[in-house]
Amino acid sequence: AGMAGAFLLEIRRGTQSALLVIRYAAAELPSAPVEVSVCADSLEVRSGGSCDAAALPAGVRLAPLICFLSSIDLVFSSRENLKPHKNYVFYCQSCGDIVVKDRKFLRVLPLPSENWSDLVEEWCCHPNPFARSTLHPQHDDCFLGDTFFLLNSGNESHMPESPKNTRVICKRCKTVLGETVSSDTIKYYVTEVIIQVSEGSFSPAPRSQFVQSMVAQCLLELSSAKSTFRFTIKGDNGKTYILIWLLNSDTLLVESLGSSSSHSVFTLFGDIFMPGSAPMGTWNAVKVLYQPCIKCRNKDLADAWENDMGVHPLKFPSETCLELLVILGLSTASLPPSLRCMNSFQVRNSYY
């Protein structure tokens, strides 16, 4: 069953609570008072003599005061699934062109934080013993950073032609995939490549879904490992594009298109609801506050965060930072006006 009005349900696992937003286009607003009933597995909206109902997805049950959720598997994370002694293919996420073909890694190792060398100065009472050391992978190594993979370049065809240009570009679609770290080391950003085992086939994903999913996973991993909840999104040009404050990571979002034209005005994840798709979707999500920093906006706040040790920087290609800013803005615009801001920050739900 479907309701005339679309709805968005934001479920918090930690508090076992939910926020329900029922959406109508302006021309479709009910003239009579609206009564909402929450049943075990459905929602009912009564107005005048009419009654609309919408069934909840499998695994979600609602009661007036308690929410029961079944366990949900975490989405695939290429960082977590990279294992030694397996053959992998790296694809350009934008066009599917093969970037790295049939590489078997003998070692898959996490890197320390990007500012680890600065922290050593605080730990040691003598000159930094690692000052002249570099963490460069050998041919059979894959090093994992917060937002990137570090590989030995070998004979990769995506190496820049000029030593002055450090950006690594996809030969087919000209998307920035990463950058050279040294003459034999390439950094590939997690937002630009899809990694799959060699015997598999390339599985494309809409660009905006992939970007927000990868960024959300970075926020989750860092907040869990380091108790860090504030982040700066920086481009490979050194500029700060966005300030992000992670509010929670235990949200389950349920969104319905409804049976009317209201979904043409409101959708939180518009590129998922394509023609012929299911009328309802369910996603794990993180809720964030954010501030844009382009064109010198929020410069004082950005400067303060830059000098705050509790803020963690995340680096991506500059073009991807702008993509993320557009994604954040569209998501905020899809929320009801009363839910869009908190103090001077804007609110955003990002699924993963």
Q: Each residue of 107-130: pLDDT tens digit? A: 999 887 766 666 666 667 777 666
Q: pLDDT tens-digit profile of 6-20?
A: 777 788 878 777 787
272 pLDDT more than 80: no
Contact assessment for residue 212 and residue 327, using Cβ atoms and an 8 Å cutoff:
yes
d(C-alpha 153, C-alpha 166), whole Å: 13
pLDDT of residue 56: 76
In this predicted model, what pLDDT tens digit does every residue of 23-69 receive, in sequence order?
776 666 667 777 777 676 777 777 777 777 777 777 666 554 332 22
Q: Is the pLDDT of residue 302 over 90?
A: yes
Q: What is the pLDDT of residue 111?
A: 85
Q: Is the pLDDT of residue 218 over 80?
A: yes
Give the pLDDT score at 240. Answer: 96
Q: Which of 111-125, 269-283, 288-302 has the lowest mean pLDDT?
A: 269-283
Q: Convert the chain into a string of H (helix), E (strand) and C (coil).
A: CCCCCEEEEEEECCCCEEEEEEECCHHHCCCCCEEEEECCCEEEEEECCEEEEEECCCCEEECCCCEEECCCCCCCCHHHHCCCCCEEEEEECCCCCEEEEEEECCEEEECCCCCHHHHHHHHCCCCCCCCCCCCCCCCCEEEECCCEEEEECCCCCCCCCCCCCCEEECCCCCCEEEEEEECCEEEEECCCEEEEECCCCCCCCCHHHHHHHHHHHHHHHHHHHHCCCEEEEEECCCCEEEEEEEEEEEEEEEEECCCCHHHHCCCCCCCCCCCCCCCEEEEEEEEEEEEECHHHCCHHHHHHHHCCCCEEEEEECHHHHHHHHHHHHHHHHHCCHHHCEECCEEEEEEEC
Is pLDDT larger for residue 4 or for residue 87?
87
- Selected residue with higher pLDDT from 235 and 120: 235
CA distance 164 to 175: 18
Overall residue count recorded for the chain in this entry: 352
Nearest to 202 by CA among 296, 93, 297: 93
251 is written with which tokens? 């949200």
pLDDT at 282: 77
What pLDDT shows up at residue 175?
Answer: 95
For residue 351, pLDDT beyond 90: no
Radius of gyration for the alpha carbons in the chain, expressed in angstroms and rounded: 23
C-alpha to C-alpha distance for 110 and 150, rounded to whole angstroms: 10
Reported as a pLDDT band with limits 50, 70 and 90, residue 262 is very low
With 0-12 CB in 10 A as exposed, 13-18 as middle and 19+ as buried, what is 68? exposed
pLDDT band at 185 (very low <50, low <70, confident <90, very high): very high
pTM of the model: 0.76
**How much is the average pLDDT of 247-275?**
60
Mean pLDDT score, 159-188: 85
Q: Could you tell me the pLDDT band of residue 205, with boundaries at 50, 70 and 90? A: confident
**pLDDT band at residue 254 under the 50/70/90 scheme:** confident
Q: Residue 181's Cα: distance from chain center in Å? A: 25
Higher pLDDT, 154 or 327: 327
